[in-house]
Structure 1
Amino acid sequence: MSVLLAGLCTVDLVQRVTHLPAPGEKVQSGGVQVAAGGPATNAAVTVAALGGDATLLTVLGRHPLALLARDDLADHGVTVIDLLPERDAPPPLSSVTVRDHDGERTVVSHNAAALEDAVDAFDLDEHPAWQRRRPDAVLVDGHHPALALAAARWARRHDRPLVVDAGSWKPVFADVFPLAAVVACSARFRAPEGALDDVAVVVTTAGPEPVRWRTRGGSGTVAVPEVDARDTLGAGDVWHGAFVSRLGPGRAGEHRNDDRLVEDIAFANAVAAERVRHVGPRSWIGPVRAMMGER
């Protein structure tokens, strides 16, 4: 199973604390970790952890911080296609604080706001870095509009299912949603009226609450396993990576069976639930692989 994941790659500085600081308060952290992050990036790490071939299409550059992200991704089996490899500026950064007793977190991130127009519109098949790859499925997070649209159009042109990670509304989604097999929304996602009307499959995640889904033929919910949450950082991204790893050519939204959709959601729920049981950006990978061996 091979997946193209197009979108944001950040450098995450993650610290664990006994309680989240109030304004003006200084708090001593109990641990510090640095890892590559971002929705598409965390999903790519998940695909690789589940045994898939993950290719991340993103913008990183050659700044020393970008090298940290590259090394982390290489260590976890993710191939990176960087559309601006000579860029000297720092990559997007995120400062993450995780509360020990329940895994709740706060995130301060610059994201890709400064890079919105850094990549012009392009045809993925014609890009020299692409080398005629043929992934089985595609996921986009919308953080780099040109990347999202290029990947979405490639998926449509080559009859590959496209999953959209819709954490928050982005203008490019107006062009991407009509090409999607599945739009996976967060519970806080708000779209303009009618934006989701023509999407064949819409899935809504809400942390530990049941995942809602609707297709053209039905709707329902899928329960999330009850676990002792230790670290919720990137759990939604892990969910998306696990979900897209189940797709392949011909699995377009309008042709999907509702029972199979429920199975795919249940699988993603189980992987994300296992992720939150473990502290740290990568500590969950071994247990998830062990879980897969038991299935």
Structure 2
Amino acid sequence: MGSARGPVVCLGAAVVDLVFQLDTIPREPTKILAKSRTLRNGGPAGTAAVACGNLGIPAAFWGNVGNDAHGVQTRDALIRHGVDVAGLTVLDGVPTVLAIVMVDRNGERLIVAHGAEIFERPAGRLPLDRLAGAGAVLADTAWIDGSLALLEAAEAMGVPSVLDAEDNRHTSLLLRLARLARYPVFCEGAFVQVTGGAAPDAQSLQALSEQLGRDIGVTMGERGSLWWLNGHLLHVPALAVTCEDTTGAGDVFHGAFAGGIAEGMPMERAIRFASAAAALKCQAGRGWDGMPSRLEVEEAMRGLR
């Protein structure tokens, strides 16, 4: 096991998920009975922080929750998983984000979230002076003002930064965040968005990498991830598992990758570490309670060589 030089500071969304298990996600208006329902937690940055905590990597969460029962539950869940919540702010007058998550028998999911106004607050309360001791930072694309402030401060302090680049209605903001992050890692939809419709391949990754002035990665679910690193294309396959639930797998990938960077892992090892962690999360399901341990990830990495 490595040792992080400091915690991974994860900034952005931590939400409550109301998960309905279905045989099939409906494709047209209908009425359907769920097989089960469970109240869990999610959100890209919150899930990434919890993933780090369960991998033995110190992590902190910075972000906003509402002054309500869901906010209390989210804070308690982060603490239970060993995450530092000193950067969590409780806001009056706005609800904690609640997401309805439908998961089918193959583990695929459909998510509908409510409460985006919590991400419209300015970033003035962030304890940016604490970044001097961080091993890495991770920002998602939910709270734009906060992510811009975090990435700008990390760049100024020389702290490695990772962007969990998900689809955003403002392409220009997504590109701005990606230029600030040392390691922008796109989901496939966000990559298509910022490239004007290009599928991930050697040519499109090289073009975007040159546009941003950064090495970049694209996560592609069960097809693994594709990277443009130091002028070369790298494909890292996904670990083959029986999938229980894909919810949060990308967030776990980003958290584990940032954790690997914080520990000083070589890039390819950090990517394989993240890929194994994400696959094991798909296999386990169960929200934040399904996070893999460090030992499980290290053992699974043998299947990605």
TM-score past 0.5 threshold: yes
Partner of 1:276: 282
Partner of 1:125: 128
Partner of 1:267: 273
Q: Please tell me whether residue 50 in structure 1 is matched to residue 64 in structure 2.
A: no
TM-score by length of 2: 0.83
Residue 68 (structure 1) shift:
1.3
- SS of the residue aligned with 2:71? helix
Residue 216 (structure 1) shift:
3.5
* Deviations 1:87-135 (CA, angstroms, capped at 9, x unpaired): 24211111001112x10111111252x2343225577436xxx5x7621
Determine the C-alpha separation between the residues in 2 that align with 1:120 and 1:18: 42
- SS of the residue aligned with 2:65? coil
TM-score by length of 1: 0.85
Q: Please tell me whether residue 41 in structure 1 is matched to residue 59 in structure 2.
A: no
- Asked whether the 8 Å contact 2:183–2:215 carries over to 1, the reply is yes
Q: Please tell me whether residue 59 in structure 1 is matched to residue 73 in structure 2.
A: no
Partner of 2:254: 240
| Pairing partner for 1:229 from 235, 243, 247 | 243
Q: Which moved further from structure 2: 133-142 or 85-94?
A: 85-94
| CA 1:217–1:119: 2 relative to 1, 3 Å | same
- SS of the residue aligned with 2:46? helix
Residue 53 (structure 1) shift:
1.3
- Asked whether the 8 Å contact 2:15–2:99 carries over to 1, the reply is yes
1:89 partner letter: V
- SS of the residue aligned with 1:282? helix
Residue 85 (structure 1) shift:
2.0
Partner of 1:180: 181
Residue 9 (structure 1) shift:
1.6
- Asked whether the 8 Å contact 1:35–1:72 carries over to 2, the reply is no
2:80 partner letter: D
Determine the C-alpha separation between the residues in 2 that align with 1:164 and 1:51: 21
Determine the C-alpha separation between the residues in 2 that align with 1:83 and 1:272: 25
| Mapping for residues 160-171 of structure 1, pairs under 5 Å | 160-169=159-168, 170=170, 171=172
* Deviations 1:37-86 (CA, angstroms, capped at 9, x unpaired): 11111111101110111111101132111111111111111122456424
Q: Please tell me whether residue 5 in structure 1 is matched to residue 10 in structure 2.
A: yes
Determine the C-alpha separation between the residues in 1 that align with 2:86 and 2:66: 11
Please, what is the CA RMSD of the aligned residues?
Answer: 2.5
Partner of 2:135: 136
User: Number of residue pairs matched?
Assistant: 280
| Pairing partner for 1:89 from 66, 77, 94 | 94
Consecutive unaligned residues in structure 2, runs of 5 or more? 197-206
* Deviations 1:122-180 (CA, angstroms, capped at 9, x unpaired): 77436xxx5x7621100001211221012112211221111001111444334332321
Partner of 2:223: 209
Structure with more helix by fraction: 2
